[in-house]
Structure 1
């Protein structure tokens, strides 16, 4: 099948290329706009309590504004506010209210909004917009900060703005244009590394242009699928999509080009060499893509809508990349022939490639020792994963010099830590009757005494009188581990048990949303990972015609996953002293290290099977497979790891964690697992690795015609 695909693309290059361009332009023009949401509550199922609270709030208090930000006033000398200072607070707040910001309904303060120690006063900024991360809201925060400082000139006061919208502003500015940074870094890395590997400007630039075409196609297909099936894409999927397309796309292009160059060195004509390259690596690329696609599609089993939307989106992008690798890429290089390698002549010569040969010889001669050492390294690193702690407080990852972070720290000296974002408690009549005022007051007193609660506002009734709302200020930061644990357990239990007779009590707000997300993520870890692992094992079994090899390959993948997490825990929690790691980090490692990193294992075992099928001994097969595959795997891994490694330079510690985990995990997968552990274990098992097949199967055929076998001395090179 892959031989037929290769022949069609190579012999009809213009038809293939024009078809791709027309399809991309048509889809881009016809596809609907890709909508997104930054509100995590939108991505939780309806049975979670925080989601039920959101729906109740919309129906019972439809005109209620959400607190977008908090203005904190204090004296420049840190002393108590005087009467003149309080008057200046009121005047400044009135001035801000008069500005009529686009997304803010009101800016208000009151004499009661002064701390008990008399050193700080607050003004609340209310917005009718639910999404506090949209551009218009962020621009309003910036203007309010500028206007407030101007209004306070000449007074003894200073102000700072914190709260959800202000934090979003600072997070975006401190992170810069992450998508743009990733795109530029990725493109630069691909151009530089491909140029260094092949010493050809055409090969350095053409993959980038082809991947950009794939990106346009993938985005259009994702938008169309989202519109047809009602998916809501997470706003963060674009950065991930960039890395997936460039990472996977470069992998598959390298798989093809290295084999193409290998065939050219045996004296084949360019077109036939390209057809045979597609025939040989087509199954490997398809299997690698299939493993990544099923791993991504396993996310549809997630309880979180963001994951369910991300899974199909990434699967579509990999599917586009697979089709392009088997059609578009061969068509482009068919037109160029050997001119693609200009001005280098190195493609004509078989290089010495001492490093790859040395590794291959070591794997062949000392498989038990290499397996023990490489496996031992992974096991030692994996121990660190036992100390993994989830961190939901995105604010704690921001640089401490940001205004929202500094202002929050100042505010917590005089107010409860949860003042910036109170939790919400609702009482709803079960029969629709009016609520009893005395019972509501008794309930307020009961929950006010709960552990970790700083203050509870009086009940606010809706017009029908059947729903009451309380604002509950916690003593802990809203996104801190203590607050989440409190809300998810003891506090909700107290609220539910204290509800007046004939009513139902619910706890909501951002802390409750995070508590429910924590529950959902823990559920997903137990379901999604095993299902994805089983699906990948089935694909490996079909590729290798083996039952044994997929088992130890998945054990190795699991070991690489935990080793990556463990390394990140040791670096950030133990050495840098972080309270915890990004709660989504295991999912991110799963997406990029397990799913995409499996490409390298598949390439290696496919080559092992090919060499064994030619009659080579297990040890010799391991030597040849490592020697042939090391440059391809190493080049692809360095490009993908380098792309994520750029994130380590960000000021945001959560971006640093993500960048390090994925970059280091990819390097572990490529250089420790794929090049050392997998071939040595396969060599040690011998023919047993391929059971029930005999000797790994055939050497690779194209619709029954044997593909030309390369001389044993032919070795790929990443340098010349």
Structure 2
């Protein structure tokens, strides 16, 4: 089948190229814009309590307004606010209100909005939109900060703006233009590394252009599917798509080009060499893409909409990369022939690569020692997973000099940390009755007794008197670990138990959403990972026609996953004293290390199988396969790892964690597992690794492999 695909693309190159260009342009022009949302509550299913609380709020209090930000006033000398200071706070607030800034409904304060120690005064910033991540609202908060500066001149006051919208604005600024950074770094890495590897300007540039066309097609298809299916995409999906497409796309192109050059060196004509390359590598590329696709599609089993929508989007992008690798790449390079490698003439002869040959010899001649050492290293690193703690406070990763961070610390000098984003408790009467004042007062008093609750506001009744709303200010930061534990446990328990007979209570708000997300993520770990592992094992079994090989391959993949996450815990959580690591980090490592990193294992075992089928002994097969695959795997992994490594330059510590984890995991998958552990285990198992398939008849042993035959460069 792959031979026919390759032949069709090579013999009809202009038709193939034209079809891709027409598809890319049509989708770029006609496809809708990809939708996005920053509200994590939108991604939780309806059975979670925080979502149900939000539904009650929409029904019973449709006009309820929650401050999107807080203006924090204090004296410049850190002293207590005087009566004159409070008058100036009211005056500045009124003047800011009078500016009529877009997306800001009103800015208000009063004499009661002063801390008990009289060091902090607050003004609430109420927005016209509910989403604190709304781009227009973030721009308005930025404008509000600028407009406030001249109003403070000549006073003894300082002002800082914090809260959800302000934190979202600062997070965006701190991250910078992540998409552009990733795209630029990816392009530079691909061009420079391909130029160093092939010493050809055409090969350095053409893959970028080819993947660029595939990127246009993929994003157009994803946007169309999202529009037709009403799908929402997380705000980070574009950056992830860039990495996935350019990462796996470059992998598949390198798999094909290295094999094409190998066939040229064997004496085949350029077009026939490309057809042969597609025939030999097509199954490997398809299997690698299939493993990544099913891993991404396993995210459909997630309870979180964020991951469920991400899965199909990433699967579509990989499918497009696969199709481009099997059709567009052969078509383009069939037109160029050997000119694609100009001015280098390395395609004419097999150069010596001593290092790759030595790696192959090591894995083949000392498999037990290699397996023991590499497996031991992975186990030691994986031990760090035992100390993993999930961090849900994304603002804690922001640089400390940002205004929202500093203003939050100032606020905590006078008010409970939860003042910026109170938790909301709804008490609803079942049936047709109404809640009495005695019930409301008693219920509020019982909520206030919960350890960790700073204050509880008087109940606000709905128009029909059946629903009461309580604003609960927590002592701890709303997005912090302590607040999440309080809401998910003691506060919810107390709220449910204290509900009067014939009524029910629901706890909502940001902290409640994060508590439910934590529960959802823990569920997903137990469901998504095993499902993806089983699916990848089935694909490996079909590729290798073996029951044994997929088992030890997945064991090595699991070790790599644990080692990657463990190393990140050692570095960021233990060494740097962080409270925890990004709660989505295990999923990110799963997406990019387990799924994409499996490509390198598949390439290696496919070559091992090919060498065995040619009648070589397991040791000879391992030596040749490793030596032939080292340059391909090394080049592909360095490009992908380097792309993520750029994130370590960001000021945001969570981006640093993501960058290190994925870059380290990819390199671990390539240089430790694919090049050493997997070949060593395959050699130790011998022909049993391929049971029950690939029973090769005994043939005379081939001539010894010399160093200059062991490596493809």
Distance in 1, Cα, partners of 2:476 & 2:56:
25
Q: CA deviation at 1:228?
A: 2.1
Structure-2 residue corresponding to 1:527 = 527
Note the 1:566-577 alignment, pairs <5 A. Answer: 566-577=566-577
Map residues 643-658 of structure 1 onto 2, 5 A cutoff: 643-658=643-658
Q: Which residue of 1 aligns with 2:186?
A: 186
Q: In 1, distance between residues paired with 2:197 and 2:585? A: 32
CA distance in 1, matches of 2:591, 2:95: 49
Q: In structure 2, what is the equivalent of residue 200 of structure 1? A: 200
Q: Does 1:111 align with 2:75?
A: no
Change (3 A) 1:51 1:718: farther
Does 2:622 match 1:595?
no
Query: What is residue 446 of structure 2 aligned with on the other side?
Result: 446
**Equivalenced residues, count:** 711
**Number of the residue aligned with 1:72:** 72
Q: 2-side partners of 1:587 and 1:525: how far apart? A: 8
Distance 1:342 1:8 in 2: 25
Deviations 1:533-555 (A, max 9, x none): 00000000000000000000000
Please state whether the residue corresponding to 1:401 is helix, strand or coil: coil
Q: CA deviation at 1:26?
A: 1.5
Contact 2:357 2:711 (8 Å CA) reproduced = no
Match of 1:157 in 2: 157
Distance 1:398 1:490 in 2: 29
CA distance in 2, matches of 1:73, 1:519: 37
The equivalent residue for 1:316 is 316
Q: How does 1:121-270 map to 2 (within 5 A)?
A: 121-270=121-270
Please state whether the residue corresponding to 1:434 is helix, strand or coil.
coil
Measure, in 1, the Cα distance between the counterparts of 2:319 and 2:708. Answer: 30
Relative to 1, partners in 2 of residues 1:318 and 1:152: Cα closer, same or farther, differing over 3 Å?
same
**Contact 1:632–1:718 (Cα < 8 Å) also in 2:** no
What SS does the corresponding residue of 1:74 show, helix, strand or coil? strand
Q: Is 1:43 aligned to residue 43 of structure 2?
A: yes
Q: How far apart are the structure 1 equivalents of 2:624 and 2:708?
A: 8
Deviation by residue 1:606-650 (Cα, 9 ceiling, x = unmatched): 000000000111011000010000000000000000000000010
Q: How far did 1:130 drift?
A: 2.0
Q: Does 1:538 align with 2:538?
A: yes
8 Å CA contact 1:423–1:512 kept in 2: the answer is yes
Over 3 Å counting, the alpha-carbon distance change for 1:561 and 1:377 in structure 2 is: same
Paired with 2:438 and 2:98, the residues of 1 have a C-alpha distance of 39
CA contact (8 A) 2:628 2:711 kept: no
Tell me which moved more, 383-392 or 131-140.
131-140
Report the equivalent of 1:620: 620
In the other structure, the counterpart of 1:365 is 365
Q: Is the 8 A contact 1:690 1:696 kept in 2?
A: no
State the 1:715 CA deviation: 6.7
Mapped pair 1:120 → 2:94: no
**Residues 304-703 of structure 1 correspond to what in structure 2 (within 5 A)?**
304-695=304-695
Residues 167 and 378 of structure 1, relative CA distance in 2, 3 Å threshold: same
The answer as to whether partners of 2:629 and 2:712 remain within 8 angstroms in 1 is no
Distance, in Å, in 1 between the alignment partners of 2:547 and 2:541 is: 6
Q: Could you list the per-position Cα deviations for residues 457-511 of structure 1 after superposition, in whole angstroms to 9, with x for gaps in the alignment?
A: 0011122221111110001111111111111111100001011222111100000
Report the alpha carbon displacement of residue 698 of structure 1 after superposing the two structures with TM. Answer: 13
Q: Quote the residue 1:303 is aligned against.
A: 303
Alpha-carbon separation, structure 2, partners of 1:74 and 1:718:
69
Q: In the TM superposition, what is the alpha-carbon distance from 1:132 to its structure 2 partner?
A: 1.3
Alpha-carbon distance in 2 for matches of 1:51, 1:149:
39
Distance 1:456 1:629, change over 3 A: same
| Alignment CA distance shift 1:714-1:234 (3 Å) | farther
Deviations 1:238-283 (A, max 9, x none): 1100000000000000000000000001111000000000000000
Offset at 1:31? 1.6
In structure 1, C-alpha distance between the alignment counterparts of 2:505 and 2:235, rounded to whole Å = 32
Q: Deviations over 1:316-348 (max 9, x none)?
A: 000000010000000000000000011111221
Q: Decide whether aligned partners of structure 1 residues 715 and 510 sit closer, same or farther in structure 2, where only a CA change above 3 A counts.
A: farther
Report deviation, 1:426: 0.6
Indicate if the aligned counterparts of 2:627 and 2:712 stay in contact, CA closer than 8 A.
no
Q: Give the gaps of 5 or more residues in structure 1.
A: 700-708
Runs of 4+ in 1 over 3 A off after TM superposition: 694-699, 709-720
Distance in 1 between residues matched to 2:680 and 2:204, nearest whole Å: 33
**What is the SS of the residue equivalent to 1:124?**
strand
Distance 1:251 1:377, change over 3 A: same
Please, what is the CA RMSD of the aligned residues? 1.6
**2 CA distance for matches of 1:394 and 1:493?**
26
Preserved contact between residue 162 and residue 407 of structure 1 (Cα < 8 Å): yes
Q: Distance in 1 between matches of 2:322 and 2:709?
A: 23
How far apart are the structure 2 equivalents of 1:599 and 1:273? 23
Q: Partner of 1:224: helix, strand, or coil? A: helix
What SS does the corresponding residue of 2:412 show, helix, strand or coil? helix
Q: Post-superposition shift, 1:134?
A: 2.1
The answer (yes or no) to whether the contact 1:16–1:331 under 8 Å persists in 2 is yes
How far apart are the structure 2 equivalents of 1:490 and 1:91?
A: 41
In structure 2, C-alpha distance between the alignment counterparts of 1:710 and 1:135, rounded to whole Å: 67
Q: Judge conservation of contact 2:624–2:711 (CA < 8 Å) in 1.
A: no
User: Distance between the aligned counterparts of 1:235 and 1:261, measured in 2?
Assistant: 41
CA distance in 1, matches of 2:573, 2:76: 36
Alpha-carbon separation, structure 2, partners of 1:108 and 1:719:
71
1:14–1:331 contact (8 Å) kept in structure 2: yes
Preserved contact between residue 440 and residue 500 of structure 1 (Cα < 8 Å): no
TM-score after normalising by structure 1: 0.97
Q: Tell me if 1:33 matches 2:33.
A: yes
Q: Distance in 1 between matches of 2:432 and 2:556?
A: 58
Secondary structure at 1:160 match in 2: strand
Aligned to 1:100: 100
Distance 2:443 2:187 in 1: 60
Residues 489/338 of structure 1: CA separation in 2 closer, same or farther (3 Å cut): same
Counterparts of 1:589 and 1:560 in 2: how far apart (Å)?
10
Segment drifting more, 689-698 vs 111-120: 689-698
Task: Give distance in 2, aligned partners of 1:137 and 1:9.
Answer: 50
Taking the aligned partners of 1:378 and 1:98, their CA distance within structure 2 comes to 62
Q: Is contact 2:352-2:707 (8 Å) kept? A: no
Q: Distance in 1 between matches of 2:29 and 2:85?
A: 58
Do the aligned partners of residues 717 and 612 (structure 1) sit closer, same or farther apart at CA in structure 2, a change above 3 Å counting?
A: closer
Q: How far did residue 577 of structure 1 move?
A: 0.8
Distance in 2 between the 1:181 and 1:547 partners?
Answer: 43
The answer on 1:91 being equivalent to 2:66 is no
Give distance in 2, aligned partners of 1:573 and 1:226: 37
How far did residue 696 of structure 1 move? 6.8
- In structure 2, how many angstroms separate the alpha carbons of the residues matched to 1:651 and 1:22? 41
Question: 1:17, 1:332 within 8 Å by CA — same for their partners in 2?
Answer: yes
- Preserved contact between residue 50 and residue 507 of structure 2 (Cα < 8 Å): yes
Alpha-carbon deviation of 1:453? 0.3
Alignment CA distance shift 1:133-1:342 (3 Å) = same
Per-residue Cα deviation, 1:567-610 (whole angstroms, up to 9, x for no partner):
00000011111110000000000000000000000000000000
| CA–CA distance in structure 2, aligned partners of residues 710 and 306 of structure 1 | 56
Does the 8 Å contact 2:448/2:454 carry over to 1?
A: yes
- Does the aligned pair in 2 maintain the 1:614–1:698 contact within 8 Å? no
